[in-house]
Structure 1
Amino acid sequence: MILVIGGAGYIGSHLVKELVEKEDVVILDNLSTGHREAIDSRSIFVKGDLGSEDDLEMIFKSYPIKAVMHFAANSLVGESVVDPLKYYENNVASTLTLLKVMMKFDVKNFIFSSTAATYGIPTVDIIDETTPTAPINPYGHSKLMVERMLADFSKAYDLNYVILRYFNAAGAHESAAIGESHDPETHLIPIVLQQLLGQREKVSVFGSDYNTEDGTCIRDYIHVTDLASAHILALEALLSGKKSAEVYNLGNGLGYSVKEVIETCEKVTGLKANVELADRRAGDPARLVASSAKIYTELGWKAERDLEKVISDAWNWHQKQKY
């Protein structure tokens, strides 16, 4: 049985939807940002807190857990700057509690959802796993701290782990049963689609004078179902003993500008977005694009869905929502 921490959240729920086809799954989520309606009925759901030893021990006592997949992090960069306590408490301290309980119950397989924020502002156009990590905000620092904890636990306690650093998760399940819903919403694609549905007055583009082809920032968008498949491949490699103590980037290797994303949203929907140019945001790199060559070489994974598919699936889901 696989324990998925944060399985009611955006990425966690998409992972569970694929994983239940292969494994028995138990979800732990406190529903602070996750959604009960996103929980797959084929899984076992436990409402509880990652930072609670009692909640965790109840699960490990009740179910034969053989691996843990961890998605339950706070992930808003701006919020992490104004409230770092929240980020170090949940992302670091609570994860330490989880690892402590795992060691107590001799569960040694761990998949960690990490982030491109660990790289900070890289000096290379294409980021691979050898690019230096230099986070510039508490969110990135908190994720990198956990990565270092995992390395230390691996050496001391024989913990087996895979770290997946992903870039911009986007899209929705092609069934339109689940999708991306944050409060507040900070991601570009849902913001544009909400504006096209009349739920927002405008789309703000932060900076149009970057050193890129059209002057707007370039980011690496990856379909959330592609992310889920990468997690399952990593889990299978871990459980088979093929891989451990590995770090992989997850991206499409291309990158799309803010302008390209908006134009593709307009193409998919047939609607015109109300766009406003705004000042740059502090700390926004011009380009963040990942090389996923390592995970392709070692596990055979690559992103299968392009930007138009990402947006089309997201649009199908958004149209069903009652705002």
Structure 2
Amino acid sequence: MDLQGKRILVTGGAGLIGSRLATRLVADNDVRVVDDLSNGIRESVPEAAEFLQGDLTDEAVVADVVTEDLDAVFHLAADKYVNTDRPREQMEVNEAMTFNVLERMDEVGVDNVLFTSSSTVYGEAPMPTPEDYAPLEPISVYGASKLAEEGLLSVYAHSHDVTVWNFRFANIVGPRYGAGVVPDFVYKLQQDPESLTILGDGRQEKSYMHIEECIDAMCHVVERSEGEMNTYNLGTRTTTSVTRIADIVSEEMGIDPDYEYTGGDRGWTGDVPKMRLSVEKLSAIGFEPELSSDESVRRGVRDLLDGAENEPHLG
């Protein structure tokens, strides 16, 4: 799908990824954003976009924002906390939002949807993990909710003539406080630059991708693949350990804190200790991430520090 001259709805468009995606799209498209602002910032939505505040578990809100004049829905709205203390609510909310959006799209004849899934659908899988790896056995409720949503998307792709672009993300970093180890370390060390508590043993190792490369990759895939169900991993070819992230944050802040580890091979129940996604499928259609995982983390830390005085803390 050519991303020019289109009418596009971005759900969750006040969040880190959604707001950056909306900002990229408004230059050449007519963009509508919906967000309940539970973990997004209204000021992050580009001025050129139409904004509506609303909860997509409410079918009336979905009816207002998913209209027949749309060319596509870019569905990023979600309860994103991997270590949530509200697992049933997270599962129900994520499934309800996606089902509501898909049902309404079918009702009004919108047949293109982009969805942001997660590496957590794979569970503890061999690395690098390709898109066709099976069986998919998530170990967190968040991963299970994303896998359930992917199932719904598959139904609409194969039985309702909807074109789906399904992205399984590595860890995305950028200029916004929020959930995740990078902003968590920045925030903690701003409060106490002398010491840092690190969950687990610090050897957890994952792939990190900078938000700008993530948006570039998403747009690249949408413009170059038009199958029924287009599933792509987005990440880098390298990984970064939790201790290395602490080192990078400390270096960028110009401090030398003591580290204290809580122990164990993971930070919390449901945490995948090691993750690196295969990006061969992405590379095959002409997109190669330029930044390594370390470089992505460092750039994300600089983004956070540069914007710290102007951005509220959401995590």
- The normalised TM-score by structure 2 is 0.88
User: Any idea what the Cα deviations from partners look like across 1:202-235, whole Å, max 9, x if unmatched?
Assistant: 4322232xxxxxx611111110111112222233
Count of matched residue positions in the alignment of Structure 1 and Structure 2:
299
Q: Which residue of 2 aligns with 1:49?
A: 55
User: Any idea what the Cα deviations from partners look like across 1:222-264, whole Å, max 9, x if unmatched?
Assistant: 10111112222233235xxx34411111111100111111111
d(CA) in 1 for partners of 2:192, 2:64: 42
Specify whether residues 93 and 321 from structure 1 end up closer, same or farther in structure 2 by C-alpha distance, changes over 3 A only.
Answer: closer
Q: Which residue of 2 aligns with 1:7?
A: 13
Q: 2:115 matched to 1:112?
A: yes
Q: 2:206 matched to 1:222?
A: no
Q: How does 1:1-323 map to 2 (within 5 A)?
A: 1-61=7-67, 64-79=69-84, 82-122=85-125, 124-132=126-134, 133-172=136-175, 180-182=176-178, 185=179, 187-198=180-191, 202-208=195-201, 216-237=203-224, 242-280=226-264, 281-298=268-285, 300-305=286-291, 306-307=295-296, 308-321=298-311
User: Are the counterparts in 2 of residues 15 and 229 from structure 1 also a CA contact under 8 Å?
Assistant: no
d(CA) in 1 for partners of 2:302, 2:50: 30
Runs in 1 of length 4+ with deviation above 6 angstroms? none
d(CA) in 2 for partners of 1:181, 1:83: 21
User: Are the counterparts in 1 of residues 11 and 73 from structure 2 also a CA contact under 8 Å?
Assistant: yes
Could you tell me how far 1:84 is from its partner in structure 2? 2.7
Corresponding residue SS for 1:147: helix
Could you tell me how far 1:291 is from its partner in structure 2? 1.5
User: Are the counterparts in 1 of residues 140 and 271 from structure 2 also a CA contact under 8 Å?
Assistant: no
| Aligned amino acid, residue 128 of structure 1 | P
User: Are the counterparts in 2 of residues 170 and 310 from structure 1 also a CA contact under 8 Å?
Assistant: yes
Q: Percent identity?
A: 28
Corresponding residue SS for 1:25: strand
User: Are the counterparts in 2 of residues 251 and 303 from structure 1 also a CA contact under 8 Å?
Assistant: yes
d(CA) in 1 for partners of 2:258, 2:211: 26
Corresponding residue SS for 1:72: coil
Corresponding residue SS for 1:247: strand
d(CA) in 2 for partners of 1:244, 1:268: 44
| Aligned amino acid, residue 290 of structure 1 | L
User: Any idea what the Cα deviations from partners look like across 1:20-75, whole Å, max 9, x if unmatched?
Assistant: 122211001111221112111111101112122222222344x7210011111102
Could you tell me how far 1:119 is from its partner in structure 2? 0.6
Specify whether residues 104 and 194 from structure 1 end up closer, same or farther in structure 2 by C-alpha distance, changes over 3 A only.
Answer: same
Specify whether residues 202 and 2 from structure 1 end up closer, same or farther in structure 2 by C-alpha distance, changes over 3 A only.
Answer: farther
Structure 1 gaps of 5+ residues are 173-179, 209-214
Could you tell me how far 1:77 is from its partner in structure 2? 2.2
d(CA) in 1 for partners of 2:110, 2:93: 21
| Aligned amino acid, residue 280 of structure 2 | A
The worse-fitting range, judged by mean Cα deviation, of 301-310 and 136-145 is 301-310
d(CA) in 2 for partners of 1:85, 1:254: 34
User: Are the counterparts in 1 of residues 189 and 196 from structure 2 also a CA contact under 8 Å?
Assistant: no
d(CA) in 2 for partners of 1:92, 1:322: 29
User: Are the counterparts in 1 of residues 83 and 270 from structure 2 also a CA contact under 8 Å?
Assistant: no
d(CA) in 1 for partners of 2:278, 2:311: 34
Structure 2 gaps of 5+ residues are 1-6
d(CA) in 1 for partners of 2:88, 2:312: 34
| Aligned amino acid, residue 28 of structure 2 | K
Could you tell me how far 1:157 is from its partner in structure 2? 0.8
Corresponding residue SS for 1:150: helix
User: Are the counterparts in 2 of residues 51 and 98 from structure 1 also a CA contact under 8 Å?
Assistant: no
Specify whether residues 283 and 54 from structure 1 end up closer, same or farther in structure 2 by C-alpha distance, changes over 3 A only.
Answer: closer
Superposed CA RMSD in Å reads: 2.0
d(CA) in 1 for partners of 2:20, 2:192: 25
d(CA) in 1 for partners of 2:256, 2:196: 11
Corresponding residue SS for 2:19: helix
